[in-house]
Structure 1
Amino acid sequence: MPILVVGIDIISEEPKRFAVVSWFNGKLVKHGEFTFYRLIRFIRTKKPDIVVTDNIHELGEYLRKFIHAIPQGTKIVQITGRPGEQKPLWGLAKEHGIRVGDKFNPYEEAKVCALLAARGIGYEVLAFEDEVIIKVSRGRSQGKGGWSQDRYRRRLHNLIQNKVREIEETLKKANIPFDIEIKEKDQGLERGEFRVYASREELAGLIKPMRGGDIEVRIRPVERKTFEFVPLKSERAIRERKSVIVGLDPGITVGIAALDLNGQVLMTYSERNMAISDVIKFISEIGHPIIISTDVNPAPGLVEKIARSFKALLFVPRESLKVEEKNELLRNLGVTVEDDHQRDALTAAYKAYLRLKPKLDHVDAKLRELEIEGKGEEIKALVIQGYNLGEAILKVKEKEKPKEEIRAAEEKEASLDLGPYLEKIKELEKTIEFLEKENQELRAMIEEQRKIIENLETKIATYDEKIREKILRTKEIETKEKRIAYLEKELREAKSIIEKLSKDLVLTKRMHLLELKGSAVPIKVIENLTWKELEELERSTSIKRDDVLYIINPAGAGRSIGEYISEKRVKAIISAKPLPNVIYEVLKENKIPVLYESEIEVKRVDEFAIVDRKELEKVIEEKLNQWKEEEKQKEVQEFLRLIEEYRLKRIKELKKKADEEH
């Protein structure tokens, strides 16, 4: 089945840039130079089967971000092998017959990586355990107290409880092992956390993350402490490393045992609280496991996960082994163990070996018959993997094919007439000699040019240093000039403020003196006639009977404010602008004079203002007299209106009576 492989290589470190080449269905495409974040977007869009590089640690500080960002199902492959066993990239290319161009070209490296991975070469990087953390919690803040908030909180906790139960049922139906930790609250759950012993791929489609609603479901894979490297194809691991049969006894104390393909015990081991990554690393150091076995049926989830990690066959006995049977198997082996965990692991491995022994003995017999020596273990491992004996022998012999071809070519060459070839060789030797001399001359020229370049670079460095000092000096002067200009501006502004404050101080002193003499009345200033400013004024100085209020902007005030001021029985209101009619009428009804700046002079400094006492008394008296006169006029008009209405009514009555008499 066609797969998409993306090969990458580092072009530059600062800033990080990558050469990207893809391989699909036999075609190579050079995509160009990518930044890190553009590379991530490209991989998320294309969703390749494999992303491959010669060394993942070249990603440096971006490595963790890269691993978390790639889409689910995409494998990360290090082509040169696991750390400590790496092979040069160009050596791998030559081994697999891949032609190489410019070895210093990043695109060439990315291309070779993609071609090798497409052939199943390289090691998959396992960054995550086969474990997933699922957290269920509230998605929104509960807000501050109150009856409705308590009800909302209880509803949230019930929703979380229902979602936790739903996930629990889903995992149980799918036979996926898990542990759960919950925090109860309000007869519901405040949160729930699952540790699921399965890979992200196994959970795909079963449980979906949720965000943005009343509850949140977050799914996070568990990172390994150290990366594990497993071969893309098990045949390669079989060829390169010792094949073993591993028995596992999981639990608080983990038991591990290993046998070779001849049934010899290689090791037994047990340890408390051993992490999955530590188990995988321990097994990797022994060899390549062809079979992972257990002594119980059904197999524990941990054993299944480790078998998947190594792409090994899982051996499960038809029924769980009994203690008597385990002890019998140990007696047959003639081996003593330290504890029951080692015993269970060793008997599981030995049981698997006994199941395979007839097939392995048959392979040994055939190899002796075919007189094939030294390759028995590799051929046995391939047979266990599912190859028939003929295919396994052919795969092993393919490695020796180049040597056989060389030998055949030498034999063929011996039977040919070598004269013309010898003459051609002599001509080529002369050409080589000429080219070597020319090469020496060119090297001498290069050395001379190198010295000239070094001399020029020294001069440029000296010149650059002088220029740099000059630029720094110029920049320093510019910075100081800007600083001086800024300080001069600040000084001008400060002088202006001081001058204004001095004038205000003189005026304030005069106003205060007038107030002390009794010739001036202090008035309380309200910038905007609103409830907020009235409340602030009440808190600071309070509004008292016979106060005079100076209102700068009365717009927007309503009847209730007018009634409030009237209740305070203030002496007068002075307004910079016309008062709204509704307030004016309320004040007029309550005989509180309303004065305007055109009628009286107000002297003000910030929040402090005064008016002349005599002038105020005079204007208040005039305003009250004016209103009194207006009231009299209004009463006269009303009286005249009533008389007119009576006259008209009387005329109608007399007219009606006259008509009746006639």
Structure 2
Amino acid sequence: MPILVIGIDIISEETKRFAVVSWFNGRLIKNGEFTFYRLVRFIRAKQPDIVATDNIYELGEYLRKFIRALPQGTKIVQVTGRPGEQKSLWSLAKEHGIKVVDKFNPYEEAKVCALLAVKGIGHEVLAFEDEVVIKVSRGRSQGKGGWSQDRYRRRVHNLIQNKVREIEETLKRANIPFDLEIKEKDQGLERGEFRVYASREELAGLIKPMKGGDIEVRIRPVEKKTFEFVPLKSESAIRERKSIIVGLDPGITVGIAALDLNGEVLTSYSERNMAVSDIVRFISEIGHPIIIATDVNPAPGLVEKISRSFKAMLFVPRESLKVEEKNELLRNLGISVEDDHQRDALAAAYKAYLRLKPKLDHIEAKLKELGITQKGEEIKALVIQGYNLGEAILKVKEREKPREEVKHVEEKEVYVDLTPYMEKIKELETTVELLERENQELRVMIEKQRKIIENLKNKLATYDEKIREKILRSKEFEIKEKRIIHLEKELREAKAIIEKLSSDLVLAKRMHLLELRGSAVPIKVIENLTWKEIEELERSTGIKKDDVLYVVNPAGAGKSLAEHLVEKRIKALISAKTLPNLVYEVLKENRIPILYESEIEVKRVDDFAIVDRKELEKAIKDKIKVWEKEEKEREIQEFLRLVEEYRIERIKELKKKSEEGH
């Protein structure tokens, strides 16, 4: 896929100004000079995949603010490496074949940063933990008031409770681990705070922030105390750290086990209440995981998350491992563990190793044949990640070439004779002197050309007026022609709207005629069954006794709203979708019929709708009869239950008396 990379470099320190260069689909674009806030707006508008720089700490006091402002999914990359291990930007450019014209030009530095990031060079700066805080609270101040204000407050606390439950269900369905703290108030919730063990990217599309209404949902990622720097490519991690197979047993107590690619056990560990960031840090200290394994099928959400964070393969057994199989695997390893969590993690890792062992043995044998066993672990890791054996060997050899070349040059430099180089330096000094003279001559020529250009500009300013008029006239014609095309388009769109309105008008007239004849009943349309739309309807046309309401989407309704409709004594409610249980029960209890579109035909034009009077009356009667029949059946069942209970009790009493008589 094409990616957008933005390279930046500092131009001015006092009032921070940046040189910005973009790379997209093989093209470099010089975007110009930006202030800090304009740069932030530019990045948020473009939403690049990577923002690359040679040193993030050049941003100074703006650094945290800059990272917080980055759009979701945009990485910030320090191309020179992690602090303490940084390489020169220009040495990296030379190493990767990037041509540099002027080392003192900030735009040139920004360009090199962008091109290095495109090649996967550098370390991504991780500023946030894989944890997010979601806070649900009141959206606006309650202010002062009496009974109506208390009612509004209770309604808001009920809305907060519903929203907290909705978020909780969403996280459970997505198998995302979390902790929840709540503060109860008025048989509802005053506040709910989730601590979700997932990144912002994993929550994208699941939970959205809310502002400006009765309730507010804020999503805030948890910042790391210190920045972490991770390689931009997983292959660099393979080169730097030992490749390992990790078994993971999630839960309140987390079990972690690690094997190397020879099946040797490196560690077996367990700990209670281990945070996601602690798990990642623990594994990183052992090595670079190329496989994350679990002992159950399907894989738990936390195991999938850890696998994605390391860009490692996920191993899931065909079916969940049984306790006997786990114990057998540990006996084969000859290892004893402290608890069941370590056992499950180690069994998962060893099961994954056994699945890969034939492939690993085959690679080992091939490497022995070729005589390149020294880099065996790195080649195995690349093959497991998806490369074929030839590609993996070639990749490792290519990485070794620059080192070999450097060593070769260093060995030669010991025996170099400096005399030819001294002569070359003198020759170059002479060339520089000649170039300086040529430069002076060229400056004189430039001055002459500048004067010629000035004269030509003056002549152009006094050019024949008629020619200029012709040019202006042709441009005017062009503008008018474009205007005609635009107006024709608008006319076509207007005709389409008129046709639509005409057909709606004909239908509305027919509906109105039916209403006047008394054969149709007008109904009031509500798009969403919420307090906001009920209040708007009451302000505009009002809700009166014996009104019939038509609801398109009843999903947002609750018990209090249903009670409000009962107070209004409406005649019936027609819904396009299934009503929430609470609303249905309240209306049914108060004998307000609930009809669905499958039971009665609704004819609608925008906010106006009607139903056939006879059809409505019949549907209402049928609904009431159904409810009465259900109620009678319940009463009969209740009566039979009471008779049965009385019969059982009477039998017990008679038995007791007979026993006492004997």
TM over 0.5: yes
Q: Secondary structure at the match of 1:63?
A: helix
Q: Could you say which residue in structure 1 is the equivalent of 2:598?
A: none
State the distance in 1 between where 2:152 and 2:191 align. 16
Q: Could you say which residue in structure 2 is the equivalent of 1:255?
A: 255
Q: Could you say which residue in structure 2 is the equivalent of 1:57?
A: 57
Q: 1:284 to 1:85 in 2, by over 3 A?
A: farther
Q: Could you say which residue in structure 2 is the equivalent of 1:507?
A: none
State the distance in 1 between where 2:22 and 2:408 align. 38
Q: 1:164 to 1:65 in 2, by over 3 A?
A: same
- CA deviation vs aligned residue, 1:79-107 (integer Å, no higher than 9, x gap): 12334443333332222111233334332
Letter in 1 for 2:42: F
TM, length-normalised to structure 2: 0.59
State the distance in 2 between where 1:172 and 1:253 align. 19
Q: Secondary structure at the match of 1:20?
A: strand
Q: Secondary structure at the match of 2:347?
A: helix
State the distance in 2 between where 1:406 and 1:58 align. 31
- CA deviation vs aligned residue, 1:312-332 (integer Å, no higher than 9, x gap): 111222333333333322222
1:143 aligns with 2:143: yes
Does the 8 Å CA contact 2:184/2:191 hold for their aligned counterparts?
yes
Q: 1:274 to 1:80 in 2, by over 3 A?
A: farther
State the distance in 1 between where 2:127 and 2:304 align. 18
The structure with more radius of gyration: 1
Q: Which of 423, 426, 429 lines up with 1:430 in the alignment?
A: 423
Which deviates more from structure 2 when the two are superposed, residues 344-353 or residues 142-151? 344-353
Counterparts of 1:187-198 in structure 2 under 5 Å? 187-198=187-198
Q: Could you say which residue in structure 2 is the equivalent of 1:330?
A: 330
Counterparts of 1:533-612 in structure 2 under 5 Å? none
Does the 8 Å CA contact 2:175/2:300 hold for their aligned counterparts?
no
Q: Could you say which residue in structure 1 is the equivalent of 2:313?
A: 313
Q: Could you say which residue in structure 2 is the equivalent of 1:97?
A: 97
Letter in 2 for 1:310: F
State the distance in 2 between where 1:342 and 1:84 align. 36
Residue 221 (structure 1) shift:
1.8
State the distance in 1 between where 2:191 and 2:402 align. 64
Q: Could you say which residue in structure 2 is the equivalent of 1:387?
A: 387
State the distance in 1 between where 2:177 and 2:277 align. 18
Counterparts of 1:363-512 in structure 2 under 5 Å? 363-400=363-400, 430-433=423-426
Q: Secondary structure at the match of 2:86?
A: coil
Counterparts of 1:93-242 in structure 2 under 5 Å? 93-242=93-242
Counterparts of 1:604-623 in structure 2 under 5 Å? none
State the distance in 2 between where 1:113 and 1:10 align. 12
State the distance in 1 between where 2:203 and 2:351 align. 32
Letter in 2 for 1:336: S
TM, length-normalised to structure 1: 0.59
Counterparts of 1:273-288 in structure 2 under 5 Å? 273-288=273-288
Which deviates more from structure 2 when the two are superposed, residues 114-123 or residues 340-349? 340-349
- CA deviation vs aligned residue, 1:361-410 (integer Å, no higher than 9, x gap): 1111121222323121111101110111122122222234568999999x
Does the 8 Å CA contact 1:225/1:277 hold for their aligned counterparts?
no
Q: Secondary structure at the match of 1:229?
A: strand
Does the 8 Å CA contact 1:10/1:58 hold for their aligned counterparts?
yes
Q: Could you say which residue in structure 2 is the equivalent of 1:529?
A: none
- CA deviation vs aligned residue, 1:45-85 (integer Å, no higher than 9, x gap): 11111111123233232222111101111111121233444
Letter in 2 for 1:124: E
Q: Could you say which residue in structure 2 is the equivalent of 1:351?
A: 351
State the distance in 2 between where 1:161 and 1:202 align. 24
Does the 8 Å CA contact 1:292/1:315 hold for their aligned counterparts?
yes
Q: Could you say which residue in structure 2 is the equivalent of 1:16?
A: 16
C-alpha RMSD over aligned residues: 3.1
- CA deviation vs aligned residue, 1:92-136 (integer Å, no higher than 9, x gap): 222211123333433222211100111122222222233322221
Residue 154 (structure 1) shift:
1.3
State the distance in 1 between where 2:399 and 2:167 align. 51
Letter in 2 for 1:430: E
1:78 aligns with 2:78: yes
Residue 153 (structure 1) shift:
0.8
Letter in 2 for 1:378: E
Letter in 2 for 1:5: V
1:298 aligns with 2:298: yes
Does the 8 Å CA contact 2:100/2:108 hold for their aligned counterparts?
yes
Q: Secondary structure at the match of 1:148?
A: helix
Kindly tell me the number of residue pairs found equivalent between the two proteins. Answer: 426
- CA deviation vs aligned residue, 1:476-520 (integer Å, no higher than 9, x gap): xxxxxxxxxxxxxxxxxxxxxxxxxxxxxxxxxxxxxxxxxxxxx
Letter in 1 for 2:425: I
State the distance in 2 between where 1:334 and 1:437 align. 77
Q: Could you say which residue in structure 1 is the equivalent of 2:473?
A: none
Letter in 2 for 1:358: P
State the distance in 2 between where 1:272 and 1:85 align. 35
State the distance in 1 between where 2:243 and 2:214 align. 53
Residue 357 (structure 1) shift:
0.7
Q: Secondary structure at the match of 1:217?
A: strand
1:42 aligns with 2:42: yes
- CA deviation vs aligned residue, 1:194-234 (integer Å, no higher than 9, x gap): 23333222322232211111111111122234333333222
Q: Could you say which residue in structure 2 is the equivalent of 1:508?
A: none
State the distance in 2 between where 1:59 and 1:313 align. 36
Q: Secondary structure at the match of 1:164?
A: helix
Letter in 2 for 1:275: A
Q: 1:252 to 1:393 in 2, by over 3 A?
A: same
Q: Could you say which residue in structure 1 is the equivalent of 2:412?
A: none
Residue 430 (structure 1) shift:
2.5
Letter in 1 for 2:11: I
Q: 1:293 to 1:85 in 2, by over 3 A?
A: farther
State the distance in 1 between where 2:138 and 2:407 align. 74
Letter in 2 for 1:22: S
State the distance in 2 between where 1:223 and 1:405 align. 43
Does the 8 Å CA contact 2:126/2:230 hold for their aligned counterparts?
yes
State the distance in 2 between where 1:303 and 1:169 align. 20
Letter in 1 for 2:423: K
State the distance in 1 between where 2:175 and 2:117 align. 34
Q: Secondary structure at the match of 2:94?
A: helix
Unaligned runs of 5+ in 1: 410-421, 440-662
State the distance in 2 between where 1:406 and 1:222 align. 44
State the distance in 2 between where 1:396 and 1:251 align. 39
Q: Could you say which residue in structure 1 is the equivalent of 2:521?
A: none
Does the 8 Å CA contact 2:11/2:17 hold for their aligned counterparts?
yes
Does the 8 Å CA contact 2:22/2:29 hold for their aligned counterparts?
yes
Unaligned runs of 5+ in 2: 410-416, 433-662
- CA deviation vs aligned residue, 1:517-569 (integer Å, no higher than 9, x gap): xxxxxxxxxxxxxxxxxxxxxxxxxxxxxxxxxxxxxxxxxxxxxxxxxxxxx
- CA deviation vs aligned residue, 1:407-448 (integer Å, no higher than 9, x gap): 999xxxxxxxxxxxx9xx988752424657999xxxxxxxxx
Identity of aligned residues (%): 84
State the distance in 1 between where 2:326 and 2:84 align. 38
Q: Secondary structure at the match of 1:386?
A: coil
Q: Secondary structure at the match of 2:229?
A: strand
Letter in 2 for 1:382: L
Q: 1:106 to 1:253 in 2, by over 3 A?
A: farther
Q: Secondary structure at the match of 1:82?
A: coil
Q: 1:253 to 1:113 in 2, by over 3 A?
A: same
Q: 1:438 to 1:242 in 2, by over 3 A?
A: same
State the distance in 2 between where 1:264 and 1:159 align. 55
Q: 1:144 to 1:402 in 2, by over 3 A?
A: closer
Q: Could you say which residue in structure 1 is the equivalent of 2:563?
A: none
Q: Secondary structure at the match of 2:103?
A: coil
